């Protein structure tokens, strides 16, 4: 399954730091029940706005992670430990949900109630660096709704971006 016709969650020009199937963190983490293979890291500056990719309702929100508790290195165990401090918002779109991670501490004052409606391109947050984040970016994913406790990402595309999404194309110099 591929979700199509989404709008970009960031302004252009787009800079993707890690694409689908990235060798660093966009992979399976069975111990965490996370399948992150179809995640994207949109690089940006701290405080750059992020937007809803489609209409929906806010289904999860965590903005109490502290910037000081972030881990910016490449040690996997330290990264997993820091992940609990990641701030995020999730939006329910009916058949799937979108996930926006590494929002700054307090989301720069932008807050929502669970169940709040959002429209396409509605401002929902800012690029931050909470949790495990080696540089300011938006970790973005489209996720399946599951009953097994796993977070499973789904392949997706954007109608306003036709560049590569596979990490082997984006970061071919690393392979």
Domain ranges (residues) in the chain: 2-161
Q: Would you say 68 and 85 are in contact if contact means Cβ atoms under 8 Å apart? A: no
DSSP state of 167: H
- The pLDDT assigned to 29 comes to 67
Beta-bridge partners for 29: 34
Q: How far apart are CA 122 and CA 74, in angstroms?
A: 33
- The pLDDT assigned to 25 comes to 72
Listed in sequence order, the DSSP H helices in the chain are 76-82, 167-170
Q: Which fold has domain 2-161?
A: Glucose Permease (Domain IIA) (2.70.70)
pLDDT in tens, the chain (175 residues): 889 999 999 999 999 988 888 776 776 667 767 788 899 999 999 999 999 999 999 999 999 989 888 898 888 889 888 888 999 999 999 999 999 999 999 988 888 899 999 999 999 999 999 998 888 999 999 999 888 877 889 999 999 998 888 866 666 554 3
> What pTM value is reported for the model?
0.90
């Amino acid at each position: 399954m591929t979700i199509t016709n989404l709008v970009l969650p960031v302004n252009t020009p787009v800079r993707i730091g890690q694409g689908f199937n990235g060798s660093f963190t966009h992979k399976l983490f069975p111990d965490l029940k996370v399948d992150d293979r179809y995640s994207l890291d949109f690089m940006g500056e701290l405080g750059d706005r992020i937007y809803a990719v489609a209409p929906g309702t806010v289904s999860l929100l965590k903005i109490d992670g502290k910037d000081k508790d972030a881990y910016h290195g490449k040690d996997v165990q330290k990264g997993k430990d820091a992940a609990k401090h990641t701030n995020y918002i999730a939006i329910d779109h009916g058949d799937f949900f979108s996930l926006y991670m590494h929002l700054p501490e307090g989301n720069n004052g932008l807050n929502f109630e669970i169940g709040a409606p959002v429209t396409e391109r509605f401002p929902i947050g800012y690029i931050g660096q909470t949790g495990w984040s080696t540089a300011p970016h938006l970790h973005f994913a489209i996720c399946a709704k599951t009953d097994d406790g796993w977070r499973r990402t789904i392949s997706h595309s954007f109608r306003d971006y036709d560049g590569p999404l596979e990490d082997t194309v984006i970061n071919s110099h690393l392979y």
